[in-house]
Structure 1
Amino acid sequence: MESDDSVAREKEGLWKGRKRPWYKQKKKLWILIGVCTVLLIIIIIVAAVVVPNSGSGEEKRDESSGSDQSRLSGVLVPNGAPSWLNPYVWQDIADFNLTYTNETVGDMPIMGLNLTWDDSAKANEQVPALNEAWGDYAKRPARGVNVGGWLSLEPFITPSLFNYDLRMGIVDEYSLCKYLASRCESVLEKHYATFVTEDTFRQIRDAGLDHVRIPFSYWAVQTYDGDPYLFRTSWRYLLRAIEWCRRYGLRVNLDLHGLPGSQNGWNHSGRLGAINWLNGTDGGLNAQRSLEIHDRLSKFFAQPRYKNIIAYYGLANEPKMTYLPEDKVLQWTSDAYALVRKNGVSNAAVVFGDGFRGLHKWQGELTGLDNAALDVHQYLIFNTDLIVFNHSAKVRHACEGWTEETLESMDRATGFGPTLVAEWSQADTDCAKHLTNVGWGNRWTGTYITPDGSGDVTTPRCPTKDNRCSCDAANAPAGQWSDSYKQFLKMFAEAQMSSFEKGWGWFYWVWDTEDAPQWSYKKGLEAGVLPAKAYERSFDCDLSQIPSFSDLPETY
């Protein structure tokens, strides 16, 4: 058995009489160690500058899908750059300009925008290219769709984000982000990166649509003390969505869906409950904050790159004028309009909500606003008197009632004038999960219970108004729909299209949902209950064509 010493002596003898190996020469070895140390220090310094905040960034890059992460090679980002300027921590970098810049317009970052743009695309042969004038919307109405539930969350559109025990009280974006705390960023950005993609806009174009309404909330611009919302991340997704619309010739309706304080107290404003916009202790403060939001937005969207693509500029989604002082809402609307125009948004029509006060009440209001339009949302199912209509009556109401309302609103002698329907759907029940708020039940089965009891509906409101009212069939997947039900859904959709095109056009609510197919334009196309091209209809409100749908159970 050899000792360690004998092995050493044997190895030592291997170079006796020859040049000693470099690694046995102490001077050269110390020089090599010194060089390696300097190189290591340089690598550490470069990494600290180029990849700040890499701890969470590595995790995000691992989670991202479809992003070409090799594009980040050599991208220089200053240490300490905020996340909205640092592509190393973005979950999705597809089609973003990754060259770092802290430049702003209207105090809003341009990071991610490419320098050039091309407005030569057209959505289809029925409409002009983006760099050509659209013309009169009363003669060529918009045919569009909302990408709702994306940058402004809505529980019924993405119920998976609200899959918690009801006792936890997670009912809106406010309570969700408050619960998630530091995890809100990763959860919501994953949603932003996956729920709407470039393919969404390609499919919208292919469906024969020509406009897209993009709801977003004030925290894309600013947050305030006590806000748990995810600040600024949705901003770059909004900008990229506009660029994807540009790629497919789709004009954009900018929709500020959630305002400081909440303009209606509904979950899609960000926070369910109190209305603190133009109302309550902070009503005036939140009104001013909302104007400041529009000051920054309108300065940004007055840039030449948005001149051809922003067709509508929305001031406030669904202000609840049945609750808010009407004179305050009208004054705020006038002030916001003036601000937007002063800041250079000149081509887009400025849009404001009808406030649910009744279209006839808008006759003679805000008459001094040039190129402005009234935005009305038409649904049967949130009205306890209309939801009970059977399918034949629902189609008839769309053809007669809504056509009459549209024509009266378009006439300045009886209404405001220019009117568009920015939300409508094919849904014939309010059965979809979380549609009426998380845990509130529905009118259809008489289980609609509100926290304060003021709006409770405890008797069934399906057409039979009895215990046969069930949501089972109403919530069935599209693959289980009967031929008769499909016939109704398509006729109901085409009736609404026909009615709303008597005005400035329409925007279907919504492009896609996780599991509410009657609300999804995409799923409706797949099921064959919408025209293959939005500009082609087989039913144009000829009342003699409306069948009785007698073979369809009224409970459906």
Structure 2
Amino acid sequence: MARDSRRDHIRHEPRDRDRDRDQDRDRERDRQRRRRGHRATDSAGELLPRPSRTPRHSASESPTPRRVRGSDGTSGGSSNPLSLGSLAKLDAQNSKRGWRGYDYDSEYVKEVRQKEAKMERERVREEALERKRERERERERRRAYESDNAQYEHERVTVERREEEKKRRRHTDDEREERRRIYTESERAERRERRKARGEIPAHQKRRVISGPLLEEGGKDTVYGYTTEKEGGAGSDGYTDEEWARRKRKRICIIVGVIILILAIVIPVAVLMSKKNSDPVESKAAASAQTPSNSNLNGVSESSIPSSAQGTVLDPFTWYDTTDFNVTYTSATVGGLSIMGLNSTWDDSVQANSNVPALKDSFAYGTMPIRGMNVGGWLSIEPFITPSFFSGFSTHDGVIDEYTLTSKLGSTKAAQTIEKHYASFVTRQTFEDIRAAGFDHVRIPFSYWAVTTYQGDPYVPKISWRYLLRGIEYARQNGLRVNLDLHGAPGSQNGWNHSGRQGSIGWLNGTDGDLNAQRTLDIHNQLSAFFAQPRYKNVVTMYGLVNEPRMVALNTESVLNWTGSAIDLIRKNNITAVIVFGDGFMGLDNWQGKLQNYDNLLLDVHQYVIFNTEQIALKHSDKLTFACKGWTAQTLRSEDKSTGFGPTMCGEWSQADTDCTQYINNVGVGSRWEGTMNTGNASTSVLDPTCPTQNNPTCECTDANADPSKYSAVYKQWLLQFAEAQMESFEKGWGWFYWTWQTEAATQWSWKLGMAAGILPAKAYDRNFNCNNTIPDYGQLGLPENY
């Protein structure tokens, strides 16, 4: 053991001396590098490593370790360069394998030198740019200084002019006061002679036109076209009473005329500006739509409407749009809900497409996948779908949802504005286009004010009811089965803007929680009685209880008890449709054992990757993998009653990969993506960027919100595959409904816009990608992760 220690000492002693010399050389090189003014770094800001060493003898032997860069662009080892002493240690390690000495990797040295030269050029260019920016800043400072001086000079001149004007006015006032004195004839003659002597009045002057109130000359003088005698009948000012009265009337007429002219100009402008500021905001669809002809009212007499119904929602002459409505008056109701506008016949023989049966035949739910479409933002207004309703207001107006929108507009303007939206945003053509895109179901969200309103409600009452009925008939005409969705319940079931009112949850919660629970049951009592009619049996095949009750903020047992009561009530009214209830954001696995004793009941889950900070931070390839594996696994577990509830579908999803869309997180609230989502509540705000790059490169929304014509080919490929992967996953259950058909601008939320942009399939049932395909590495394909 002692001999071995001695040999180690002898072997390492010269190596220690070499290390000291190496350290001296390193220090000298550091001083030289400091004199150069910069160190070479790579694109990530790391110092470039020292050249690696490779063995001389054989390429097949293991080379000297050198720092490598991982496939993700990060450093594969320490960022500090190896000292010569450290290299000596590596040499010793390699010497055990028969290697003696080392030499530099010339290619690597060349690469380093090229990088250093490139960075030196960049440094010089950056310095030149900085000098240019500094010159520009100096010019800006000079312009600001000159502007300030010009403003000062302008103010100084203005003050001086005001002082001169004051002096002039004082002088004029003194002159006027002097003229007001009553002079004798001799005094007038004396003053006249003095003025002539000063040259103020030419000696030959006999007449003059006077603009002042007094006549100071003798004889006949013309005053504004009137000739007056100097003495006879004149007052002390040189005018007779009659002439003075005429002159006064003329002045009054001139002043009145000027005022009328000013008002004629100002009033129309003021009215126009007032109208611009106070007129109700219209959605883009309503603003661009043509006014309905309402030709079916031709030949109908207004006197045929009973006086008690005139001016009400039953009077077709008050309707903005009567297209495809039966305008023959009727006061008949079912379940207390009007049938006014409905035709007495219908046809259920229509087939949406060859993959599904006609309406008169049964749809094999559970084995035949639902491929459905939402018509969101129509009868329940959502800011991100129709931002034009909200962007015209300032933040001080506080218009953030349908409640505040209708409150701000007032009842009359709200009714006019919103009915135009009902009539134009979704039309017969909408349902025809949905059918042509390969869909077989449509989910129609509507809110409780289609049925009734309560004291204090600003919502437009009952008008959306007839548009809901017309929409169902349009669906029937295209062979589309309907999923009725009560999107807004009394009191708000989730406190989000699409429930009608953003803020607190008043449904089954708070002071009026029980009252609003009963009100919702009363509404379902009316709705279920109405839609139990034979005409709806084949078309309204799915009946929703309430959209997205936020059960994570409500008492679970209260919601379950209410749900049971609602199911019993609806079935009692002879509804045979599938009853749909929301998962309440509790997670699919937590529904095992709940409500499983009811038949024909369907669990509705809404799947998005952008409202979860962990999912939104996934890279594109990982989002695609999650859609194929994560959501597929969840669906399969939920479909199995031993691990989940049982029948499950996805009632809402989209292909958006960011939450950058305007107003998607409420009006005036930013995004998780950029870390600007300030809700005013620390528990819900997200103030750190959550895109996959962790803000390096910077997470930004400009490109995420770009026009789809600017999308790269690889981004379009990802969006299409992401959509098709979700369709496949959700079809492991009962199927899906896309959110939504139409938006004003948000392409990644609109099937209509996405299909036109080539990022959604032309037919919902005709797809190329499936989850058995290899998922591409979109990072290597060049798809950025920061937008």
- The correspondence of residues 4-23 of structure 1 with structure 2, limited to 5 A, is none
Corresponding position of 1:142: 370
- How has the CA–CA distance of structure 1 residues 73 and 534 changed in structure 2, closer, same or farther, with 3 Å as cutoff? same
Q: Match of 1:237, as an amino acid?
A: Y
* Inter-partner Cα distance in structure 2 for 1:312 and 1:350: 6
Contact 1:64 1:92 in 2 (8 A): no
Of 495, 514, 532 in structure 2, the residue corresponding to residue 284 of structure 1 is 514
Matched, 1:357 2:586: yes
- The correspondence of residues 446-485 of structure 1 with structure 2, limited to 5 A, is 446-466=675-695, 468-485=698-715
Stretch deviating more after TM superposition (86-95 or 231-240) = 86-95
Of 706, 710, 725 in structure 2, the residue corresponding to residue 495 of structure 1 is 725
* Inter-partner Cα distance in structure 2 for 1:452 and 1:473: 28
Corresponding position of 1:95: 324
**Structure 1: runs of 5 or more not aligned:** 1-59
User: Which digits, 9 at most, give the CA deviation of each residue in 1:412-449, with x for residues without a partner?
Assistant: 01100000100000000000000000011110000000
Greater relative contact order (CA < 8 Å, ≥ 6 in sequence): 1
Q: Match of 1:530, as an amino acid?
A: L
Please report the RMSD computed on the Cα atoms of aligned residues, expressed in angstroms: 1.3
Corresponding position of 1:532: 762
- The correspondence of residues 390-401 of structure 1 with structure 2, limited to 5 A, is 390-401=619-630
Query: Aligned pairs, how many?
Result: 493
Of 541, 557, 570 in structure 2, the residue corresponding to residue 311 of structure 1 is 541
Contact 1:262 1:277 in 2 (8 A): yes
User: Which digits, 9 at most, give the CA deviation of each residue in 1:303-334, with x for residues without a partner?
Assistant: 00000011210001000000000000000011
* Inter-partner Cα distance in structure 2 for 1:299 and 1:70: 30
Find runs of 4+ consecutive structure 1 residues off by over 3 angstroms: none
CA-CA distance at 1:64 after TM superposition: 6.0
CA-CA distance at 1:77 after TM superposition: 1.4
Corresponding position of 1:343: 573
Stretch deviating more after TM superposition (530-539 or 70-79) = 70-79
Corresponding position of 1:380: 609
Of 279, 289, 297 in structure 2, the residue corresponding to residue 71 of structure 1 is 297
Matched, 1:179 2:405: no
User: Which digits, 9 at most, give the CA deviation of each residue in 1:464-498, with x for residues without a partner?
Assistant: 11161110011111111111111011000000000
Corresponding position of 1:389: 618
* Inter-partner Cα distance in structure 2 for 1:176 and 1:184: 8
Q: Match of 2:297, as an amino acid?
A: R
* Inter-partner Cα distance in structure 1 for 2:359 and 2:529: 21
User: Which digits, 9 at most, give the CA deviation of each residue in 1:128-185, with x for residues without a partner?
Assistant: 00001112x2211100110000100100000001121112110000000001012100
CA-CA distance at 1:547 after TM superposition: 3.8
Matched, 1:517 2:517: no
- The correspondence of residues 72-221 of structure 1 with structure 2, limited to 5 A, is 72-75=298-301, 76-81=304-309, 82-135=311-364, 137-163=365-391, 164-181=393-410, 182-221=412-451
- How has the CA–CA distance of structure 1 residues 545 and 455 changed in structure 2, closer, same or farther, with 3 Å as cutoff? closer
Matched, 1:554 2:780: no
CA-CA distance at 1:555 after TM superposition: 1.2
Stretch deviating more after TM superposition (488-497 or 535-544) = 535-544
CA-CA distance at 1:501 after TM superposition: 0.3
* Inter-partner Cα distance in structure 1 for 2:513 and 2:766: 46
SS in 1 for 2:482: strand
* Inter-partner Cα distance in structure 2 for 1:66 and 1:172: 27
Contact 2:619 2:692 in 1 (8 A): yes
> Which structure shows the higher helix fraction?
2
CA-CA distance at 1:65 after TM superposition: 2.5
* Inter-partner Cα distance in structure 1 for 2:765 and 2:548: 27
Matched, 1:252 2:496: no
* Inter-partner Cα distance in structure 1 for 2:752 and 2:776: 25
Corresponding position of 1:412: 641
Q: Match of 1:372, as an amino acid?
A: L
* Inter-partner Cα distance in structure 2 for 1:68 and 1:326: 49
SS in 2 for 1:379: coil
* Inter-partner Cα distance in structure 1 for 2:345 and 2:711: 47
Matched, 1:421 2:620: no
Q: Match of 1:243, as an amino acid?
A: E
* Inter-partner Cα distance in structure 1 for 2:503 and 2:390: 17
Q: Match of 2:358, as an amino acid?
A: A
Contact 1:255 1:316 in 2 (8 A): yes
Corresponding position of 1:229: 459
CA-CA distance at 1:544 after TM superposition: 1.4
* Inter-partner Cα distance in structure 2 for 1:388 and 1:515: 24
* Inter-partner Cα distance in structure 2 for 1:297 and 1:256: 10
CA-CA distance at 1:369 after TM superposition: 1.1
* Inter-partner Cα distance in structure 2 for 1:102 and 1:142: 37
User: Which digits, 9 at most, give the CA deviation of each residue in 1:393-415, with x for residues without a partner?
Assistant: 11110000000000000110110
* Inter-partner Cα distance in structure 1 for 2:290 and 2:449: 23
Contact 1:353 1:375 in 2 (8 A): yes
Q: Match of 2:728, as an amino acid?
A: S
Q: Match of 1:507, as an amino acid?
A: F
Corresponding position of 2:210: none
Corresponding position of 1:20: none
Q: Match of 1:377, as an amino acid?
A: H
CA-CA distance at 1:70 after TM superposition: 5.0
Corresponding position of 2:492: 262
* Inter-partner Cα distance in structure 2 for 1:197 and 1:480: 30
Contact 1:83 1:90 in 2 (8 A): no
Contact 2:491 2:513 in 1 (8 A): yes
Corresponding position of 1:17: none
* Inter-partner Cα distance in structure 1 for 2:381 and 2:477: 25
Q: Match of 1:553, as an amino acid?
A: P
Contact 2:296 2:323 in 1 (8 A): no
If the length of structure 1 is used for normalisation, what is the TM-score?
A: 0.87
Corresponding position of 1:368: 597
* Inter-partner Cα distance in structure 1 for 2:329 and 2:503: 40
Corresponding position of 2:245: none
SS in 2 for 1:465: coil
SS in 2 for 1:85: coil
Q: Match of 1:290, as an amino acid?
A: T
Contact 1:72 1:98 in 2 (8 A): no
Matched, 1:443 2:672: yes
* Inter-partner Cα distance in structure 2 for 1:376 and 1:160: 29
Contact 1:72 1:88 in 2 (8 A): no
User: Which digits, 9 at most, give the CA deviation of each residue in 1:281-322, with x for residues without a partner?
Assistant: 100000000000000000000000000011210001000000
SS in 2 for 1:312: strand
Q: Match of 1:159, as an amino acid?
A: P
- How has the CA–CA distance of structure 1 residues 72 and 64 changed in structure 2, closer, same or farther, with 3 Å as cutoff? farther
* Inter-partner Cα distance in structure 1 for 2:298 and 2:563: 44
CA-CA distance at 1:206 after TM superposition: 0.2
CA-CA distance at 1:367 after TM superposition: 1.3
CA-CA distance at 1:543 after TM superposition: 4.6
SS in 2 for 1:322: helix
Q: Match of 1:205, as an amino acid?
A: R
Q: Match of 2:677, as an amino acid?
A: Y
